[in-house]
A and B are shown apart, each in its own frame.
Chain A
Amino acid sequence: MNKNEYWKENLKLVSILLAIWFAVSFLFGIVLVEELNAIRIGGVGLGFWFAQQGSIYTFLALIFVYAKKMDDLDRKHDVHED
């Protein structure tokens, strides 16, 4: 088992997921909201939708992807439990 390699891969995964976390909430939902609102889905602008709906769905996906990927990573580096 190689703890350093494991930790590095972990950090890389976390950074990618947090970049998406930041994009859907802070960028799409706040900073770029007016620009995105030009695109409409149903009766609301896309920016508004991300701020009140889309970001939450993405957060959910992020956590489950993380749990799955870390599981694989644990096994790959033989640091998993039992």
Chain B
Amino acid sequence: MDLQTLTYTFVGATFALYIGIAFWARASTTGDFYVAGKGVHPVANGMATAADWMSAASFISMAGLIAFNGYGASVFLMGWTGGYVLLALLLAPYLRKFGKFTVPEFIGDRYYSRTARIVAVVCLILASITYVIGQMKGIGVAFSRFLETDYDTGLYFGMGIVFIYSVLGGMKGITYTQIAQYCVLIFAYTVPAIFISLNITGNPIPQLGILSTMAEGSTYMMDKLNLVVSELGFNEYTTQILGSKLNMFAYTLTLMIGTAGLPHVIIRFFTVPKVKDARATAGWALVFIAILYTTAPAVGSMARLNLMNTIQTGPVGEATANLEYEKRPQWFKNWEATGLLKFEDKNGDGRIQYYNDKNKDFAAKAESYGWKGSEMVKVDRDIMVLANPEIAQLPNWVIALVVAGGLAAALSTAAGLLLAIASAISHDLLKGVFKPEITESQELMAGRFAMAGAIALAGYFGLHPPDFAAGTVAIAFGLAAASIFPALMMGIFNKNVNRTGAIAGMVTGIGITMLYVFQHKGVMFIPGTSFLGDMQANWFFGISPNAFGCVGALANFAVAIGVSKMTEAPPEHIQHLVEDIRVPKGATAATDH
């Protein structure tokens, strides 16, 4: 079978599976819709959480960022795993003991305030929508490649699929589908990695492959990669830094705190039967996540090595050592069709020169070779994982599998997030605050409308995403880190934080973060409205907008504690509530009001 037919078969088969499961386990009550009943085992829940968690950003985008940022991209690896430690140690067991459906419900009850609940809903929606925009970028890339169309068409098609998929099922459908999706995506991620690691280093375990020598010769694989990239003027792979070390520190911290503040992940911990299980679930989720995350450095580094070797076929500077454009491989043509890869023959020699023309020393040298600037004018980072098996010349079925895996990752997370948005609007805002008298079926209907609206909005922004998928998602983490996490943590660990303090803290945290992001990335990410420009010179201590959430979080903590000191202490029954959630004894199943 040719590649296109195989890809359609794989994607079709996996989709039929997900939709079949969604129908089979269709949600009928609000309880089912939001939290999947009570009988989900920690291992199963951990697997579903992992699928929920690992989105297009992890699957499609992250290894691409690692490929081009080397050591600098460690922020994603540490940030998106370390957050689970915070989640397990600081939030999950207590929120499970509290036993409600949603994050704003906890904030509303703990801070005895409808206003606090509404503020939490707004923060949650802002973070989740930004997150879905990042997913849409990934979905657009995957679908445009899958359908062999341009990016925009791929995105429209993807929006349709997400709509059908997430509006039909609820959490219960999603939990079981997500287990299936996890299996598809992890298989799709590790199989090509094993093949490639075996090809390059002779070691089938990618985690060990990156430490090994090349299959031929005694050079270490990483040393070889460092050499190959620095010969073309790029920064050395294993030492290049993302911005500055302070930026990397802040970036990692933001992603960690954000992980522990994102509603679609937290919501998972309401679904386990016991407090004890909430702790174990976080561990199991991280086991399943770590399989992909420890493989990603191998995928990234080896993809980079293969890409460089494909284009620069011989010694740098020799006229015949660059790939002839006419002889470019099929994957190159396929990605050119999507508009995400672009070549421009600047010096008219019919060959491809790909080097770092921003490196002044090397640019001078390149000129002496007759090169007139890097001719790979666009290499979208987000294509690397999908293109990787083709670049490595793996069999067609592996390539088809990776497309199916990428779609699984993007869909599962988009669905989980849309559910969090739907529950925030229908359960917290409508039922909880504005229209308590609506029936269950009306609440479900409102939730579905909210999802549809969110898809349309995110799709619109997805046409001009503010960054690569992983970068956009990082902004979402910043917003969650600055608003939700501090409110939750203080709600459990500090009995003195009161209503006024919490509200002031959340507003300050998200306000500072959004202002900073908008001033550098554009108001609502609209190009041209970034009043301070997206340039490093204007960054606060060199901290990039994507990494700013931790500063917002610090401000949130400081303001909340300060304001609480100056205002009335929380009432007696709240102090008891906090004492009660600190011990597991007496936990009951998640209940509605």
Contact = CB atoms under 8 A, between A and B. Distances in A.
Contacts of B66: 52
A67 B92 CA distance: 11
Contacts of B287: 60
Contact of B583 (A6, A43, A51, A64): A6
Interface residues of A, number: 44
Nearest to A69: B279
Interface string A29-55: 111010001000111110011011101
B286 A59 contact: yes
A18 B86 CA distance: 8
B93 A30 contact: no
A55 B286 CA distance: 12
A51 B582 contact: no
B533 interface: no
A25 B71 contact: no
Chain B's interface: helix, strand, loop or mixed, by majority? helix
Given A14-B90, A51-B77, A81-B274, A57 B290 contact: yes
A44 B210 contact: yes
A21 B276 CA distance: 21
A43 B582 CA distance: 46
B324 interface: no
Contacts of B208: 42
Contacts of B207: 53
A77 B221 CA distance: 53
Q: Give the residue among B89, B213, B286 with the most A Cβ atoms within 10 A.
A: B89
B252 A26 contact: yes
B584 A43 contact: no
Q: Most B CB atoms within 10 A — which of A3, A43, A45? A: A43
A37 to B, nearest CB: 8
Contact of B582 (A7, A52, A81): A7
B440 interface: no
Interface string A2-18: 01001100100010011
Contact of A70 (B78, B253, B279, B297): B279
A67 B279 CA distance: 5
B275 interface: yes
- Most chain B CB atoms below 10 A, which of A29, A31, A45, A59: A59
A63 B238 contact: no
Contacts of A29: 74, 78, 252
Interface string B480-505: 00000000000000000000000000
B89 A14 contact: yes
Contact of A55 (B81, B88, B579): B81
Given A43-B221, A43-B223, A81-B274, A64 B85 contact: no
Interface residues of B, number: 52
B82 interface: yes
A41 B84 CA distance: 27
A42 B211 contact: yes
B212 interface: yes
Contacts of A79: 583-585
A42 to B, nearest CB: 3
A80 interface: yes
Contacts of A78: 585
A14 B85 CA distance: 10
Contacts of B238: 37, 44-45, 48
Interface in A66-82: 66-67, 70-71, 74, 78-82
Given A41-B211, A81-B276, A66 B77 contact: no
Contacts of A10: 582
Interface string B67-99: 000010010011001101110111001000000
A66 B71 CA distance: 30
B332 interface: no
Contacts of A81: 274-276, 584-587
A74 B207 CA distance: 37
B84 A63 contact: yes
Nearest to A51: B74
A67 B245 CA distance: 33
Given A53-B207, A53-B297, A66 B89 contact: yes
B317 to A, nearest CB: 27
Contacts of A6: 582-583
A45 B239 CA distance: 10
Interface string B246-277: 00110011001000000000000000001110
B5 interface: no
A20 to B, nearest CB: 9
Contacts of B239: 37, 48
B212 A26 contact: no
A59 B579 contact: no
B74 A52 contact: yes
Contact of A26 (B81, B210, B249): B249
27 contacts: A1-B583, A1-B585, A3-B579, A7-B582, A10-B582, A21-B85, A25-B252, A30-B249, A31-B245, A43-B220, A44-B210, A48-B74, A52-B74, A56-B77, A56-B78, A56-B294, A57-B294, A60-B287, A63-B283, A66-B88, A66-B89, A74-B584, A74-B585, A81-B275, A81-B276, A81-B584, A81-B585
Considering the complex of A and B, which 4 residue pairs feature the smallest CB-CB distances, nearest first? A43-B220, A42-B211, A51-B74, A67-B279
Given A30-B252, A51-B78, 8 more contacts: A17-B85, A21-B82, A37-B238, A48-B239, A53-B297, A63-B286, A71-B276, A79-B583
